[in-house]
Amino acid sequence: MYEYFTLDNGIRIIFRRNNSIVTHAGVYINVGSRNEQGSEEGIAHFIEHSIFKGTEHRHSHHIRNRIDGVGGELDAFTTKEETCVYASALSEHLERCLELFADILFHSTFPLNEIEKEKDVVIEEINLYRDTPAELIYDDFEERYFGNHPLGHNILGSKKNVRRFTPEILKQFMQRHYTPDRMVISVVGNVEFKKLVHLCQKHFSDPQTIEVKKTHIPDSQFSILNSQFPKFNASVHKHTHQVHLLAGCPAPTLYDRDKTVFTLLNNIIGGPAMNSRLNVAVREREGFCYTIESQYIPFTDAGLFYIYAGIDSNATERSIELIHNELRHLRETPIHPQSLRAAQKQLIGQMAINNDSGLNEMQSIGKACLNFEHVDTLEEMNRDILAITSQELQEAACKYLTEDKFSLLRYV
């Protein structure tokens, strides 16, 4: 289903052909906020903004119009462990997208006047983020949980750091981290694979890599069994109308064999469906909240499981009690075979809907290829999900979801 190729300089290509008239293409880079040191916090995200501001060959308005001008869409994002630049356009414009990716990733000049304006834009993004407690609470939790570890870095950085970035600082960071061996070109669309490889060789062969290396090597000191991250129970006065609650605990890493089982467990607990256990217990039965959900975030050498809820202030303690009741039930009572089969079908359906979007699939396989030699097809993932047993789910709940492992953060 997926086709692969590696350029001589180490850039990997992953591709799936479909029948759409639109092709989705992106470049994933194995660099994020966790690569930053000290005063660099926020630089990966700032570079993601700034690579669109000028290259050796184009001014910023040329970059903006290169894809927009043919009705396409160009964008980028930064996470703690990767950066992605991507575009969607008619298949006939694939080369235009790839050539632009290579230009901004390897030839950005960071014009001073453009960079100074972009600092104001990013500072406003920081202000907006701080005004959104339902999002801010996640980073606040991770800063408390990971402490001085690089995973504790806020992706946006601080206003102070953003203001001190110079073109030279940005170039130095890119030279260290934006190397071909850390890049994956991901494409989903109706093109010939041979043509895609030819275009990538044409536009991405110049930058050379001397030594292929992985940026993040799993470290046993951050594995789930040896984690010594602190547990906390904190409240922050935000004077919001409702209490924002985040409960979190260690979870399997990206490479942990429990990852698939825990993914299904998370979906049962607080996934997007209305019949998730937390949604039924706290919202549907009691009416204590509008939003309650769980998330599982696997990093390369750590993992976190979250439960978030925006709760009526008078129902906070009762809601916490209901949450732990549901987790206790999963630890103590095996899931009935019929309920297990329904949960498996639900997750398989959600994955199929997500992959029905070419853009979502391009991003999914790009990230997977960045971290693994082989990217599982939808059929292979479905097989693994259907193989999960009630006993495995209960064992995972007992291993990870005990009350003593959870930390709590409240915005009140």
Q: Are residues 29 and 141 in the same domain?
A: yes
pLDDT in tens, 342-380: 999 999 999 999 999 999 999 999 999 999 988 999 999
Q: Is the pLDDT of residue 409 over 50?
A: yes
Q: Are residues 391 and 251 in the same domain?
A: yes
Report yes or no on 169 lying in a domain: yes
**pLDDT tier, 406 (very low <50, low <70, confident <90, very high otherwise):** very high
Q: Are residues 245 and 385 in the same domain?
A: yes
Report yes or no on 42 lying in a domain: yes
pLDDT in tens, 126-169: 999 999 999 999 999 999 999 888 899 899 999 999 999 999 99
Q: Are residues 267 and 391 in the same domain?
A: yes
Q: Are residues 242 and 363 in the same domain?
A: yes
Its domain, for residue 273, covers 223-411
Q: Are residues 236 and 377 in the same domain?
A: yes
Q: Say what the pLDDT of residue 225 is.
A: 39
Report yes or no on 214 lying in a domain: no
Count up the domains in the chain and report the number.
2
Q: Are residues 365 and 236 in the same domain?
A: yes
Q: Say what the pLDDT of residue 399 is.
A: 96
Report yes or no on 213 lying in a domain: no
CATH at 135? 3.30.830.10
Report yes or no on 25 lying in a domain: yes
**Which of 170, 204, 238 lies at the terminal end of a domain, its last residue?**
204
**Which of 172, 204, 236 lies at the terminal end of a domain, its last residue?**
204
202-211, 222-231, 260-269, 295-304: lowest mean pLDDT where? 222-231
**pLDDT tier, 227 (very low <50, low <70, confident <90, very high otherwise):** low
**Which of 145, 173, 204 lies at the terminal end of a domain, its last residue?**
204
Q: Say what the pLDDT of residue 194 is.
A: 97
Q: Is the pLDDT of residue 216 over 60?
A: no
Q: Are residues 273 and 304 in the same domain?
A: yes
Q: Is the pLDDT of residue 222 over 90?
A: no
pLDDT in tens, 78-104: 999 999 999 999 999 999 999 999 999
Q: Is the pLDDT of residue 180 over 90?
A: yes
Q: Are residues 257 and 384 in the same domain?
A: yes
**pLDDT tier, 209 (very low <50, low <70, confident <90, very high otherwise):** low
Q: Is the pLDDT of residue 224 over 80?
A: no
Q: Say what the pLDDT of residue 219 is.
A: 42
Query: What are 223's two structure tokens?
Result: 């594995």
Q: What's the chain look like in SS3? A: CCEEEECCCCCEEEEEECCCCEEEEEEEECCCHHHCCHHHCCHHHHHHHHCCCEECCCEHHHHHHHHHCCCCEEEEEECCCCEEEEEEEEHHHHHHHHHHHHHHHHCECCCHHHHHHHHHHHHHHHHHHHCCHHHHHHHHHHHHHHCCCHHHCCCCCCHHHHHHCCHHHHHHHHHHHCCHHHEEEEEEECCCHHHHHHHHHHHHCCCCCCCCCCCCCCCHHHCCCCCCCCCCEEEECCCCCCEEEEEEEECCCCCCCCHHHHHHHHHHHHCCCCCCHHHHHHHHCCCCEEEEEEEEEECCCCEEEEEEEEECHHHHHHHHHHHHHHHHHHHHCCCCHHHHHHHHHHHHHHHHHHHCCHHHHHHHHHHHHHHCCCCCCHHHHHHHHHCCCHHHHHHHHHHHCCHHHCEEEEEC
Q: Is the pLDDT of residue 64 over 60?
A: yes
* Higher local confidence (pLDDT), 87 or 214: 87
Q: Are residues 44 and 86 in the same domain?
A: yes
Q: Are residues 110 and 248 in the same domain?
A: no
pLDDT in tens, 322-332: 999 999 999 99
Q: Are residues 171 and 319 in the same domain?
A: no
Q: Say what the pLDDT of residue 190 is.
A: 97
Q: Is the pLDDT of residue 401 over 70?
A: yes
Q: Say what the pLDDT of residue 230 is.
A: 79
Report yes or no on 212 lying in a domain: no
Report yes or no on 306 lying in a domain: yes
Report yes or no on 308 lying in a domain: yes
Mean pLDDT of the residues in the chain: 93
